[in-house]
Chain A
């Protein structure tokens, strides 16, 4: 009798050894959310560390640029940039790269059961676990509604069991989808391409305090500009992404109190290449249109010319008045190198974004508008062909689907070097824009 009872114990012990049942799909989500809540302080520490690194990089880059600028004897700062492609590694094995196989195992006959089962149990499977990343292959059952066991079961003879939906021989499609959604996607969607655009408000920080600089700045009004382009990002791990791309940005400001007239060419007897120089915070504007005549309201120091009002009166010469505002416009091609840190990983993701952009000057023009058409006046001299700006922002990403997402990224940008290096005073532009766009993961 005792032996038979011991055999019952062994039959259950050995029969259930290594038995596996896939848990409900939502179990991990519940665990994950509980763990995530406990890890929250760490996220903020990481975010703070990330911000500190971004700011340190910006300061170092700024100081480096300052040194480089002082070594150059002209106004054009050339930057040689070499980007080394980051090396990424992904040692993790795709968790469902192998097909889940399910098999039901028979219980060993009692006469073959030995007491070494205890040893077998204790020697479980660090080796086996580490050899593959797969769902268990023996004794694996998944709860779904239908069951082969139900077919042979006589409910009249055996008391009702509340868990009769527990075992099946096939993995459900729902569960496979869940596994794919929650494990494979991270590996398969490391890249994303995003089209982004934003209207941008520009301002400047003035480090000069002389009266002329202040007057010049007071007469300048930033205009709403725009930036747009395509960003390509690579997810290094679950939190960090590195992003680059190409953007086109247009920056501008209105120079108020500069009156312009047309028809001056017939009175122009000088041999110089320009007749007027207009001082601005972004550099000196040289007119290259011989037909234009300029004079400034109030303080005439803003315009340097041989044709001041004492020498030439445009009204007496019956020149055509055009406007009293000029627009100074620059276009840049931007190559950003940003780091993105995912603070919240939910349906709406929140990312911290920071990094540097290398900006190549494409277009430099000064014009005024007459009857809706541009009337070209000149260009701004002494502009740096390259400039570097630092950016910091917060990105929100709403996922439409596994691959498509809507992005909204309020971003503040600070130019580490001014647009020009000859004006005597340093004006560092900054900008704020809310980038919006669509991203596609692949």
Chain B
């Protein structure tokens, strides 16, 4: 039996040491996902906590088919979705024209110079509705039809939000790399 199966078995038996072990192994990766789906750290922490509680509650349903980490990630994303739906009406979409213009259009090398932390920070600056659509489409790989059902919007709105998210991201990356270049050039 693989070690992860033993840990899952221990968790199912209520062994708190195994539960903590599972958390320690996977929390950092799942917390990064939570940050990706939330605009502030408190919300990310809430998603992580609720997600892990669901993971522990539903461990018995995991069939050991496919990636266990992928299974946990799906639960975490679903938890973020639930949180989003509960607050959806509170989110307003910022006017895209108010976003600062980039110093220059980012090219391939600009992306290459960005670290994962930079990308996460940029993605978290997106308005919540744009961020959710971009995450579900670009990162998780859902279709617009699926996204429309998930967050109760039309397919057209999903496409529109994605398009606007990309524009904002492009501008942010441009501004970001422009600053880096200026600093590098003294």
Contacts and interface: CB of A to CB of B under 8 A. Distances in A.
Is the interface on chain B under 10, 10 to 19, 20 to 34, or 35 or more residues? 35 or more
B27 A161 contact: no
Given A126-B68, A163-B41, A106 B112 contact: yes
Nearest to B18: A92
Interface of A: 5, 7-9, 11-13, 15-16, 18-24, 27-28, 30-32, 34-36, 38-39, 42, 91-92, 95, 104-111, 118, 121-126, 129-130, 133, 135-136, 139-141, 143, 149, 152-154, 157-159, 161-163, 166-167, 179, 182-183, 186, 237-238, 345
Contacts of A135: 24, 28
Interface of B: 2-4, 6, 14-17, 19-21, 23-29, 31-32, 35-36, 39-41, 45, 48-49, 52-53, 56-57, 66-70, 100, 103, 108-109, 111-121, 123-125, 134, 137-139, 141, 163, 166, 169-170, 172-173, 175-176, 178-180, 182-183
A12 B123 contact: yes
Contacts of A16: 32, 36, 116, 119-120, 123, 139
B116 A158 contact: no
A27 B27 contact: yes
A176 B108 CA distance: 38
B117 A161 contact: no
Given A9-B139, A129-B25, 5 more contacts: A19-B120, A20-B31, A21-B32, A27-B48, A186-B17
B17 A237 contact: yes
Contacts of A111: 108
Contacts of A159: 100, 125
Contacts of B138: 8-9, 12-13
A13 B142 CA distance: 13
Nearest to B68: A126
6 contacts: A16-B139, A31-B23, A42-B14, A157-B103, A158-B100, A183-B24
A110 B119 CA distance: 14
Given A15-B116, A139-B116, A162 B40 contact: yes
Contact of A136 (B29, B45, B134): B29
B176 A158 contact: yes
Given A20-B28, A95-B21, A110-B108, A31 B49 contact: yes
Nearest to B16: A238
Contact of B117 (A92, A149, A237): A149
